[in-house]
Structure 1
């Protein structure tokens, strides 16, 4: 037990939180998606490659992680605006 009588899992719970992670299909973004979802956050991630996103989404679903995905090129304003609307 950690200080205050709470376990590490309880202290780091993100239950009820929503996170948006760009570039979640690989590298650091992918690791952040898994960490946040593993602590209970609902996570939405985006990337430019639909195929890579779908492959990741299937793996996250198999792990029981609450992750949704969409294709987005964050360098384009219209894509960013659509992403925000999707996450809302």
Structure 2
């Protein structure tokens, strides 16, 4: 079997030394992605609009020995995005290997009618 010959998943995959940013990482798919990346050895930073949920996750990840940092951010707000990128730049010394843009929003109009400066 090819799987047995290649060894375990942990032996085949390592993100040791890699850095990752996952937006919307305090619940659902984003939370699972944070845990997978950190589980493979990456240093991960994640953000969410909900400070309480984010802190609960951070504590849980810390207890599991995962290297995850967090910050509150609403990615639909340009100033918040700028602050997030400054935080990530400082946290990872300017090195970002993986970006998972998991945060999203529900648009109720055609995309061509949306502008960068308008908040939905």
2:63 and 2:41 map into 1 onto residues whose CA distance is 15
Counterparts of residues 1-88 of structure 1 (less than 5 Å): 2-3=5-6, 7-88=8-89
Aligned residues of 1:2 and 1:8 also touching (Cα < 8 A): no
Closer, same or farther: CA 13–77 of 1 in aligned 2, 3 Å: same
Closer, same or farther: CA 2–82 of 1 in aligned 2, 3 Å: farther
Runs of 4+ in 1 over 4 A off after TM superposition: none
Unaligned runs of 5+ residues in structure 2 are 90-120
Match of 2:97 in 1: none
Q: Give the TM-score, by structure 2 length.
A: 0.68
Report how many residues are paired.
86
Deviations 1:25-71 (A, max 9, x none): 00000000000000000000000011110000000000000000000
Cα drift, residue 9 of structure 1: 1.2
The structure with the greater share of residues assigned to helix is 1
Q: Give the TM-score, by structure 1 length.
A: 0.92
**For the pair shown, which has the larger CA radius of gyration, 1 or 2?**
2
